[in-house]
Structure 1
Amino acid sequence: MNDNKFDLTEGREKLKEIVDKIDVGMICTFPENSDYPHGVPMSRQEVDDQGNIWYICSADSDTHRNIEKNDKVSLFYADAKNYTFLSINGTATLLRDQARIDKYWNKFMESWFEKGKDDPNIRLLRVDPTDAHYWDSDSSKIGTFFTMVKNMVTGDHSDLGKEGDLNV
């Protein structure tokens, strides 16, 4: 794999590209008095120009309660079909901003919040990434597999894709 280096703007663009492509990632919070993280799948609402990733969550959720006590989070995005993966560590902030809730609101949200977009339990969750690492193949899973087999047979070390730290 190539090890790519990105400047701040390129790093944020690459992060946004992968998160937007995959959409649903696992967000891991760290419960008090537990040796293990608590992970839940969440759909991102937006990756803003500063590289912050926005979600909507409930004030009644374990995720919300965990972040109130420990603002450190880890995010994991995986698209196994295209061999694209992203690992992010960051700091979470819980907010209540009705204008932003209105911006993100859609019909799907109604299944989570019965009282609609004015539900008092709706919270915005903003993740400010502190570091990120990606793995990205230029071909499909099948293409990567054949490159691996060819490398094994020929002893060649052809490139299987790219990976690197993202400056975020």
Structure 2
Amino acid sequence: MSDRSVSQIAETLKSIDIAMLVTKTGSEGAIAARPMSNNKDVSEEDGTSYHFATDDGRIDDDLKNSDQCGATYTSGEFYCAVQGTGKLHRDRALLEKHWVKDLEAWFENGLDTEGLILIEVSPKRIEWWEGREEGQLTF
């Protein structure tokens, strides 16, 4: 077991643009996953990450029904699994705070995209592996 701080893990996650964001879906609670950018927006204080989407897909319904979610990251020999809760935000000021220009490739109307939402993933546990090292952080 190796120790790394939240800020060290967050720095690594910032360098990995795409995570597989996982939610419970449907009435039976099946697992659904989809690739999402974290926009290099990962808190060094607590590992919280932020992802943009629109409310016309399944992800907003999933998080309304169950806030349990996770995200997985990989780069080279580094693997990370974040398990926690997801929260939907529509507040314009908060969306502006987390918006990055690169998102315009996915949301052609930028912050004015109809149904734009911000998904905040707050970790309860972060597990990571790199080569023969591994560790876990709990919150």
* TM-score, length-scaled by structure 2: 0.86
Distance in 2 of aligned mates of 1:68 and 1:103: 23
> How many Å apart are 1:126 and its aligned residue?
0.5
In the alignment, structure 1 residue 47 sits paired with structure 2 residue 48: no
Give, as a single letter, the amino acid of the residue that structure 1 aligns with 2:121. Answer: V
Q: Higher Cα Rg: structure 1 or 2?
A: 1
The residue aligned with 2:107 is 113
Distance in 1 of aligned mates of 2:47 and 2:101: 26
Find the residue that maps to 1:51 and give its secondary structure: coil
Cα 1:164–1:50 shift into 2, 3 Å: closer
Pick from 79, 87, 93: which aligns with 1:93? 87
> Deviation digits for residues 121-166 of structure 1, max 9, x if unmatched?
11111011001110013xxxxxxxxxxxxxxxxxxxxxxx310112
The residue aligned with 2:2 is 4
In the alignment, structure 1 residue 37 sits paired with structure 2 residue 37: no
- Where do 4+ consecutive residues of structure 1 move more than 6 Å? none
Distance in 1 of aligned mates of 2:82 and 2:35: 14
Find the residue that maps to 1:100 and give its secondary structure: helix
Contact 1:29 1:37 survives alignment (8 Å): yes
The residue aligned with 2:11 is 17
> Deviation digits for residues 42-68 of structure 1, max 9, x if unmatched?
010311233211111111121111001
Name the Cα RMSD after superposition. 1.9
Q: Which shifted more, 43-52 or 19-28?
A: 43-52
Distance in 2 of aligned mates of 1:129 and 1:104: 18
Aligned residue pair count: 137
Contact 1:15 1:166 survives alignment (8 Å): no
Unaligned runs of 5+ in 1: 138-160
Pick from 37, 53, 56: which aligns with 2:52? 56
> How many Å apart are 1:86 and its aligned residue?
0.1
Distance in 1 of aligned mates of 2:65 and 2:52: 18
Greater helix fraction, Structure 1 or Structure 2: 1
Greater strand fraction, Structure 1 or Structure 2: 2
Find the residue that maps to 1:29 and give its secondary structure: strand
1:75-90 equivalences under 5 Å are 75-79=71-75, 82-90=76-84
What percent of counterpart residues are identical? 26
